[in-house]
Amino acid sequence: MFGKKVHPREFHEGDLVLKKILPIQKDHRGKWTPNYEGSYVVNKASSDGAPILIRMDREELPLPVNFDAVKKYA
């Protein structure tokens, strides 16, 4: 069966997460560029796939981020 090993990711308000750096942003470090930036806190978690993140200093990011571009900070 397809998708048997897929584990849904759940994010709740207050979770610490890392945000993926999109390839659109150019960096002079080449392959040594970090893949994720952060840490961020989930301010509002919705089921539609776009959480609203805030920085650790409580500054809110201007746009929601797709759940595919976020992973939990361990």
Q: What is the pLDDT of residues 27-60, one digit of tens each?
A: 677 778 888 998 999 998 877 778 899 999 999 9
Q: Report yes or no on whether pTM surpasses 0.95.
A: no
Q: In the prediction, which pLDDT does 17 show?
A: 94
Q: Coil, strand or helix: which one is 68?
A: helix
The topology (CATH level 3) of 16-72 is: SH3 type barrels. (2.30.30)
Q: What is the pLDDT of residues 11-21, one digit of tens each?
A: 889 999 999 98
Domain chopping of the chain, boundaries: 16-72
Distances (CA, A) of 5 to 2, 8, 28, 47, 70: 8, 10, 37, 21, 19
Q: In the prediction, which pLDDT does 30 show?
A: 74
Phi, psi of 70 (to 5 degrees): -130, 140
